[in-house]
Chains A and B, each alone.
Chain A
Amino acid sequence: MEKNRLSEFLIEKSLVITAIFSIIIILLIVLFILMEGFPAFEDYGFFRFLFGMNWAPSDGEFGVFAMIIGSIYVTLLSLIMAVPLSLLCAIFMAEVAPNSIRRILKPVIETLSGIPSVVYGFFGLIVLVPIIRTNFGGTGFSMFTAALILTVMVLPTIITISQDSLRAVPHEYREASFGLGATNWQTIRHVIFPAALPGIITSIILGMGRAIGETLAAIMIAGNVVQIPGSIFDPVRTLTANIALEMGYATGLHYNALFGTAIVLFLIIIILLLIANYIQHKYKVDVGGGYL
């Protein structure tokens, strides 16, 4: 008895320590980024930094606005392409596909998420960029090219998680719907999809996080030109690409400005998460006293 209590105690405490440990690491990283980035805001001015149009470290200009727009555009464009594709795919896999097809599709999609981003980037550089150049003109390095690659990269995240949440909808719902004479599509659209919506939104949030944080593929194919794109075939530079491109060389204020860029990215992600959480909360389905 005594021994049991001791081991319970030990297990509980070690779980607490692991949980605290991961939080401490995150806090340390945040603190470090803030400390390194703050001098840039102090010297250059926060709003000038945030809304400055000109990024020229050698002339002491550190405006990241074009890159904020670049990051958001690329992310949104890839989500516009990825969300319908992956949701339809998830619905097919969860509700329509026979088991034999599902057994092939699932591992294939999971493999997609295991491919390193440098491979995606290289594929984009060698294959996609020339295709875009010959078909749409310009240099081929563009927001659209990057968004295409990012679409493929976020597909597995959205598909896997939304598929799981579709399949988690209780079987009684389907039976009740069929019992009322609804067709298969009516059941999916009006019963299963709404019931799984919180999980689907979570999957989109995670996909968005992957798209906005993706660095290497963006560096290789987005063109890295600091400008607000006039069309989707113009090159852009994302916030992550900016940090990774120049971190190796940066000294002094330039170095701080790159950490400043990281803080901006951090803020954007927090804002997006808040919005997503709000939407998720709003659409939570209340069933018999519990949430789905």
Chain B
Amino acid sequence: MNSEFKGIIVIAICIILAYLFINPGASYERIDVVGSTSVQPLVEKLAENFTSSHEDIRIYVQGGGSGMGIRSTKQGLANIGMSSKELSSTEKKNLTEITIGKEGIVIAVSNQNNIKDLSIEQIKNIFNGKITNWKEVGGNDKEIHVITREEGSGTRSAFESIVMDDTKIKDSAIVQSSTESVKQSVASDPGAIGFVSFAHMNDDVKPISVDGVSPSEKTITNEEYVLQRPFIFLIKGEPSKFAKEFLSWIKSPAGTEIIKKEKIIPVK
């Protein structure tokens, strides 16, 4: 009796697996989107909404970083690549870029820090190690702990190209591997400073105004707030019919609405 029951379960599992393996591809079209982990949550939301009205298309969104997005689009492994940084001219080769939005980068400090405003120059000197104490920029006598992202991160490279000029983030800066862990580290350390994306901001940390402009949707849209970066889709050659449909939907009012809801500033 028992072994008979087991046999039935095994057969049922086999049928389900066979169904899963054989069926895909037959009933719907597949779009693979690969790349920047900063763009990923937005595209997941977009894909979710798009596929609910287009049941014949399935969109697989995968992270891995901007570099991975560029690589897999070039190799044809992904239909669409996501990048959160401007491409260099060698990276650009054979690829079409479509900017879907832009996002602010917020300089964050602990809520216990009394600093409210820093100039670009001050931020630069804090991150390259010329300024090491908060009292040098009008704060309390406390050592500054710089927290940065890993080399290659889209947020980091955008931050570097806007703020750092030809100087480098100091070698002794603590490296954290995600926006969320940067935020955690900054929140718990009164002496810390770090950069996080605008969409991830909440009350755990305090945003710093840059040259008197505080980061908000309005100041990012009119480019008054200078710390911002593009969200780019990459396509190799002519996109497939379905990828094209997805892309034009993103630019439609319905798509734009979702981009806005995710605190990203849509680009026409």
Complex: chain A residue closest to B66, CB-CB: A249
Known: A58-B151, A248-B152, A250-B67. A125 touches B173 (CB 8 A): no
**When the two chains form their complex, are residues A235 and B63 in contact, meaning their CB atoms are under 8 A apart?**
no
User: What is the total number of residues of chain B having a CB less than 8 Å from a CB of chain A?
Assistant: 28
A129 to B174, CA, bound (A): 12
Measured between beta carbons, the chain B residues less than 8 angstroms from A56 are: 151
**When the two chains form their complex, are residues A246 and B172 in contact, meaning their CB atoms are under 8 A apart?**
no
Closest-CB distance, A205 to chain B (whole angstroms): 29
Most buried by A among B66, B175, B184, B192: B175
1/0 per residue, CB under 8 A from A, across B129-153: the answer is 0000000000000000101001111
A19 to B151, CA, bound (A): 41
- Is A140 an interface position by the 8 A CB rule? yes
Closest-CB distance, B66 to chain A (whole angstroms): 7
**When the two chains form their complex, are residues A225 and B175 in contact, meaning their CB atoms are under 8 A apart?**
yes
Complex: chain B residue closest to A242, CB-CB: B150
- Is A219 an interface position by the 8 A CB rule? yes
**When the two chains form their complex, are residues A139 and B152 in contact, meaning their CB atoms are under 8 A apart?**
no
Measured between beta carbons, the chain A residues less than 8 angstroms from B71 are: 251
- Is B104 an interface position by the 8 A CB rule? no
- Is B167 an interface position by the 8 A CB rule? no
Closest-CB distance, B267 to chain A (whole angstroms): 24
Most buried by A among B65, B68, B150, B172: B150
Closest-CB distance, B148 to chain A (whole angstroms): 9
Measured between beta carbons, the chain A residues less than 8 angstroms from B4 are: none
- Is A223 an interface position by the 8 A CB rule? yes
- Is A57 an interface position by the 8 A CB rule? yes
Known: A125-B181, A249-B65. A57 touches B151 (CB 8 A): yes
**When the two chains form their complex, are residues B188 and A126 in contact, meaning their CB atoms are under 8 A apart?**
yes
Known: A246-B152, A249-B65. A129 touches B188 (CB 8 A): yes
1/0 per residue, CB under 8 A from A, across B170-198: the answer is 01111111000100110011001000000
In chain B between 61 and 89, which residues have their CB closer than 8 angstroms to a CB of chain A? 63-68, 70-71
- Is B256 an interface position by the 8 A CB rule? no
- Is B37 an interface position by the 8 A CB rule? yes
1/0 per residue, CB under 8 A from B, across A121-148: the answer is 0000110011001000001110000000
Closest-CB distance, A149 to chain B (whole angstroms): 15
Complex: chain A residue closest to B68, CB-CB: A248
Per a CB cutoff under 8 Å, which of B150, B173, B188 touches A130?
A: B188
Closest-CB distance, B62 to chain A (whole angstroms): 11
1/0 per residue, CB under 8 A from A, across B49-64: the answer is 0000000000000011
Measured between beta carbons, the chain A residues less than 8 angstroms from B174 are: 139, 141, 223-225, 235
- Is A245 an interface position by the 8 A CB rule? yes
Measured between beta carbons, the chain B residues less than 8 angstroms from A246 are: 150-152
Complex: chain A residue closest to B85, CB-CB: A249
Measured between beta carbons, the chain B residues less than 8 angstroms from A245 are: 150-151, 175, 177
- Is A226 an interface position by the 8 A CB rule? yes
A248 to B175, CA, bound (A): 15
**When the two chains form their complex, are residues A129 and B151 in contact, meaning their CB atoms are under 8 A apart?**
no
Sample (19) of A-B pairs whose CB atoms are under 8 Å apart: A125-B185, A126-B184, A130-B189, A139-B189, A224-B175, A225-B171, A225-B172, A227-B171, A227-B172, A235-B172, A235-B174, A237-B175, A244-B177, A248-B152, A249-B66, A249-B150, A249-B151, A250-B152, A254-B152
Give 5 closest A-B pairs by Cβ, nearest first. A249-B152, A248-B65, A224-B175, A249-B67, A245-B150
Footprint of A on B, CB under 8 Å?
Answer: 37, 63-68, 70-71, 145, 147, 150-153, 171-177, 181, 184-185, 188-189, 192
